[in-house]
Amino acid sequence: MLTPFWEYKELIYNADKFYWLGQIIGNIVMFIPLGVFLCRINRRLSVVHIGIIGFVFSAFIELTQFLTGRGLLEFDDIFHNTLGAVIGYFIINNSFFSKRKK
């Protein structure tokens, strides 16, 4: 499903709002640890680097799902996963973790 943001349409118009909200939030939350981990192992990575790594990693997962027939190749998943990695970056760089002495 390569139609951008189709899950939001389903969230708005479908009766099963909790399911679609869970899909969106789940994909975001799933990649927050990646952004946190990458920032912890290399402080020099910028938000752009984290976004690119999150995008590539997510695209690899989606492509693997497509090629193996174990899931759908979805633009929304790639977007939400990338967003999750970026949120992880901001969590680590705007929290007490970033204020600790190195």
Residue ranges per domain, the chain? 6-95
Q: Cβ–Cβ contacts within 10 Å for residue 36, how many?
A: 21
- Higher pLDDT: 96 or 11? It is 11
- Report DSSP state, residue 43: T
Cα 58 from chain centroid (whole Å): 7
Per residue in 19-65, pLDDT (tens digit) is: 888 889 999 999 999 999 999 999 899 999 999 999 999 999 999 99
pLDDT classification of 73: cutoffs 50, 70, 90? confident
pTM, two decimal places: 0.84
Over pLDDT 90: what percentage of the chain?
54
Q: What does residue 74 show for φ and ψ, rounded to 5 degrees?
A: -125, 130
Residue 96 above 70 pLDDT? no
For the segment 78-89, the average pLDDT, to the nearest whole number, is: 96
Taking the CA atoms of the chain, what radius of gyration do you get in angstroms?
15
